[in-house]
A and B are shown apart, each in its own frame.
Chain A
Amino acid sequence: MLRLLNLELQKLLLNRTSKILIFISFILPFTVLILLSIKINFFGFFTLELGELGIFNFPIIWHITTFFASYFKFFFAIVVVSMIGNEYSNKTIKQNLIDGLSKKEFILSKFYTIVFFSLLATILIAVASFFIGLYYSSYTEVNIIFREVDFLLAYFVKLVGFFSLCLYFGMLMRRSAFALAFLFVLYILEWITFGLIAWKSDTDLAEKIQNFFPLKSMYKLIDQPFQRVMMTKFPDKADLAYDYAVHWYEIIIVLGWTALFIFLSYRLLKKRDL
């Protein structure tokens, strides 16, 4: 396993474009987070301190940071798609197989890399949130700090799932640009299907079905935190209440998609003549 990971890391880290993209996808959310957490004085007119809003309190901070950090996954998604696209355009995929890498090992080396970087991203976010939380949070009891760390698990599963989808589209289209376009098409398709079901029956059913779709199920893992922030500000408004927790079945759905995408990528490579 280490051999396969090592193999892929060499391919990625020696390539300047992917090195920059990896750097951006890890350092940028980190920087944004730290910038937000410091007190910003706008030329003496007013001071913006997000910490005052209570969003850096435990346990809500886990929810907030993982939700916003997951938007930066698109940078690494480009890396994933291009690591397949490059193998095809340089024909190195063929040479790798001739040199003695099996098709299974080829897919696994990509998958391990995805898991490796997702894990790294999760650890970075966990550490950053932990320290910012310690600094700002009004509550620092251990059981409150670690009450909602399951958002971290959700974040990790979300990244692995999304990158596996990118891997499959990369294998399917063989060209980075087409794969990214296809991702967008899938997004639109999911909403069209949602619209059709909502039109033919009702919105509740449509939403239930949509929660099983690949992109929506990944998004659903970490619900938007805005409403929750409002809830903490106005605790008496009952109509704001919603279910934001991470549920085991949401994780299962995404893990199911992940397994399916990796399997489909392998089957595609196995059946294809290079």
Chain B
Amino acid sequence: MDTILTINNLTKKFGYLTAVKDLSFTINKGNVYGILGPNGSGKSTTLGIVLNVVNKTSGDFHWFDGNTTTHDALKKVGAIIERPNFYPYMSAYQNLKLVCKIKGVDYSKIDEKLEIVGLLERKDSKFQTYSLGMKQRLAIASALLNDPEILILDEPTNGLDPQGIHQIRSLIKQIASQGTTILLASHLLDEVEKVCSHVVVLRKGEKLYSGRVDEMISSHGYLELKAENTDNLIQFLEAKKMFGKIKVEDELITAFLDEPMDAKDVNKLMFENGIVLTHLVKRKESLEEQFLQLTDNN
């Protein structure tokens, strides 16, 4: 698989504060990556370093096969960081024309990309007249101008209304479906869960996890159960070793599975042992629960 970005032992210190600590990970072509972490966990700093706007303290990184300079590599990258930054007095078209000049891209791309983000009708309006959602979409159009190998988005839905968030997310999915590698930094867990296939979890500049989203915690999920006779059920669950931790909240019993097991098999087992369930749901931990579990353990 082609490597797009390799980061080795990257460290960034701002005075006494260590923003990024000994971070290493690799980004391969074709996947949608998420960088997940609470505010101040070093996401933006990491992206700033690889995008050449923040100086690293130690460690190194290289783009593609390592033979390209960062300056040349950035021409094959599309990125937006934090806020959409454009010249307020220029129109959308003029702003994108400027980006074309920087990246060495033909002007014919401008209309094409504005069409994708749905801003073609407003292309001659000044940037300062745009709403935040439109600004953010213009930023995505700008990042797409050079048909990048990788699209880097830092909190693209920050500050948007639900409609705007939905527009941006479907745009990201649409772009990902065309095979563009995406690196998405976010503190919103469900965003990463909905969009990404791989995730790097950061906390206080340190990497806690990196890998596939669905393998983040090797868990077999858990069951939510209710029965007529709650005490019997609890006794039964405690006796069997395939059930791990058991939690009781009012009538609802939550049992964590230590072995893989279907809801159907659970129902059958219960019935054979004379327990009639009134409620049975099998769930997997959401990324949020996994994330909290992961950050709690450390």
Contacts and interface: CB of A to CB of B under 8 A. Distances in A.
Real binding pair = yes
A92 B53 CA distance: 12
B194 interface: no
Contact of B55 (A15, A86, A92, A273): A273
A86 B53 CA distance: 17
A273 B54 contact: yes
B74 A90 contact: no
Interface in A1-25: 3, 6-7, 10-11, 14-16
Interface residues of A, number: 26
A11 B89 CA distance: 9
B101 A100 contact: no
A95 B142 CA distance: 10
Interface in A142-168: none
Interface of B: 14, 48, 51-55, 71, 74-75, 77, 79-81, 83, 85-90, 94, 97-99, 101-104, 142
A31 interface: no
A90 B86 contact: yes
Nearest to B54: A273
A90 B51 CA distance: 18
A98 interface: yes
A204 interface: no
A99 interface: yes
Given A90-B85, A95-B85, A101-B102, A10 B48 contact: no
23 contacts: A3-B104, A7-B102, A10-B97, A10-B101, A11-B98, A14-B89, A14-B94, A15-B87, A90-B86, A92-B85, A92-B86, A92-B87, A94-B53, A95-B85, A97-B52, A98-B52, A98-B80, A99-B142, A100-B71, A102-B52, A270-B55, A273-B14, A274-B48
Select the residue from A86, A96, A102, A273 with max chain B CB neighbours within 10 A: A273
A176 to B, nearest CB: 15
Contact of A99 (B55, B87, B99): B99
Contacts of A15: 87, 89
A274 B101 contact: no
A97 B98 contact: no
A82 to B, nearest CB: 12
Given A16-B89, A98-B79, 15 more contacts: A7-B98, A7-B102, A11-B98, A14-B90, A15-B89, A90-B85, A90-B87, A94-B85, A96-B102, A97-B53, A98-B53, A100-B74, A100-B103, A102-B52, A103-B52
